[in-house]
Structure 1
Amino acid sequence: MKRRNLSKGGLEMFARRKIGSWVILFALVLALMVGGLCLDKGYAALKEPVHLRFASFAIGGSWYIYASAIAKLVRPNLPEGSTIDVLPYQGGIGNPLLLKRGKAEIALSFLPCSKWAYDGLSPYKEPIKELRALVGGLNRPHRVGVLIRKASGIESLRQVVEQKLPVRIVTAQVGATGQAVAMQVLHAYGITREKLKSWGGSLEHVRMPVAMSRIKDGFADIIIHNVGYKEPRFSELCLRVPIKFMEISKEMRQKLAEKYGYMTGLYFKAGEFKGIKQDIPAIGYPTGVITTKELPDEVAYIITKSICENPKDLGNAHASLKVFDPKTAWKPEKNGIPLHPGAIEYYKDKGWMPE
Structure 2
Amino acid sequence: MSKTRMNTAMTRRALLARLSGWSAVALAAGAAWTGGQGFTPARAQELNFLRIGTGRTSGAYFPVGGLIGTLVSNPPGSRPCDRGGSCGVPGVIAVAQSTGGSVDNLAGLGSGQLDLAICQADVAYGAYRGVAEGEGVGVPAFDGLRAIGTLYRESLHLVARADSGITGLQNIAGKRVSLGDVGSGTLVSTRLLLETMGLGEAGVQANYDQPNIAADKVARGELDAFFFFGGAPVALVSELRQRVDVSVLPVEGEGVERLAQSSPYLTIGLIETGLYDNPLPIPTLQVGAVLVTTLKMDDALVKALTAALWAPQNRILFEQGPPQTRLANALAATQGHAVPLHPGALRYYRSVGILGRSGPMTP
Please state if 1:167 is matched with 2:178.
no
- The CA deviation string for residues 185-210 of structure 1, in whole angstroms up to 9 with x for no partner, is 211211234344xxxxx222233344
* C-alpha deviation, 1:350, in angstroms: 1.4
Question: In the aligned structure 1, how far is the partner of 2:177 from the partner of 2:323?
Answer: 32
| Residue 128 (structure 1) aligns with | 142
Which of these residues, 163, 176, 181, is aligned with residue 184 of structure 2? 176
* C-alpha deviation, 1:324, in angstroms: 0.5
Pair 1:45–1:174, CA change in 2 (3 A): closer
| Residue 114 (structure 1) aligns with | 124
- The CA deviation string for residues 189-238 of structure 1, in whole angstroms up to 9 with x for no partner, is 11234344xxxxx2222333443244334443332222442323322434
Q: Between the two proteins, what is the percent identity of the paired residues?
A: 20
- The CA deviation string for residues 299-329 of structure 1, in whole angstroms up to 9 with x for no partner, is 1111111111233323223333211121221
| Residue 151 (structure 1) aligns with | 163
The DSSP-based 3-state class of the residue aligned with 2:163 is: helix
Which of these residues, 30, 38, 44, is aligned with residue 44 of structure 1? 38
Alignment of 1:52-63 (within 5 A): 52-57=49-54, 62-63=60-61
Which of these residues, 224, 233, 240, is aligned with residue 236 of structure 2? 233
Pair 1:112–1:42, CA change in 2 (3 A): same
Pair 1:109–1:277, CA change in 2 (3 A): same
Question: In the aligned structure 2, how far is the partner of 1:158 from the partner of 1:65?
Answer: 34
Pair 1:345–1:227, CA change in 2 (3 A): closer
Question: In the aligned structure 2, how far is the partner of 1:45 from the partner of 1:213?
Answer: 46
Q: 1:55·1:86 contact (CA, 8 Å) conserved in 2?
A: yes
| Residue 352 (structure 2) aligns with | 350
Pair 1:305–1:180, CA change in 2 (3 A): same
The amino acid of 1:54's aligned partner reads: R
Structure ranking higher in helix proportion: 1
Please state if 1:86 is matched with 2:95.
yes
* C-alpha deviation, 1:103, in angstroms: 1.9
Pair 1:317–1:238, CA change in 2 (3 A): closer
Question: In the aligned structure 1, how far is the partner of 2:352 from the partner of 2:67?
Answer: 23
| Residue 8 (structure 1) aligns with | none
Please state if 1:207 is matched with 2:204.
no
TM-score (norm 2): 0.72
How many positions carry a matched residue from both structures? 306
The DSSP-based 3-state class of the residue aligned with 2:326 is: helix
Cα RMSD between the aligned structures?
3.2
The DSSP-based 3-state class of the residue aligned with 2:274 is: coil
* C-alpha deviation, 1:46, in angstroms: 4.0
- The CA deviation string for residues 12-68 of structure 1, in whole angstroms up to 9 with x for no partner, is xxxxxxxxxxxxxxxxxxxxxx99995459643646156242223466865444334
| Residue 15 (structure 1) aligns with | none
* C-alpha deviation, 1:260, in angstroms: 4.2
Pair 1:166–1:99, CA change in 2 (3 A): closer
Please state if 1:246 is matched with 2:250.
yes
| Residue 70 (structure 1) aligns with | 68
Question: In the aligned structure 2, how far is the partner of 1:111 from the partner of 1:222?
Answer: 25
Question: In the aligned structure 2, how far is the partner of 1:177 from the partner of 1:155?
Answer: 24
Which of these residues, 295, 313, 316, is aligned with residue 312 of structure 1? 316
The amino acid of 2:129's aligned partner reads: D
| Residue 293 (structure 1) aligns with | 295
Pair 1:258–1:53, CA change in 2 (3 A): farther
The amino acid of 1:133's aligned partner reads: A
Q: Which has the larger radius of gyration?
A: 1
| Residue 23 (structure 1) aligns with | none
Alignment of 1:264-275 (within 5 A): 264=267, 266-274=269-277
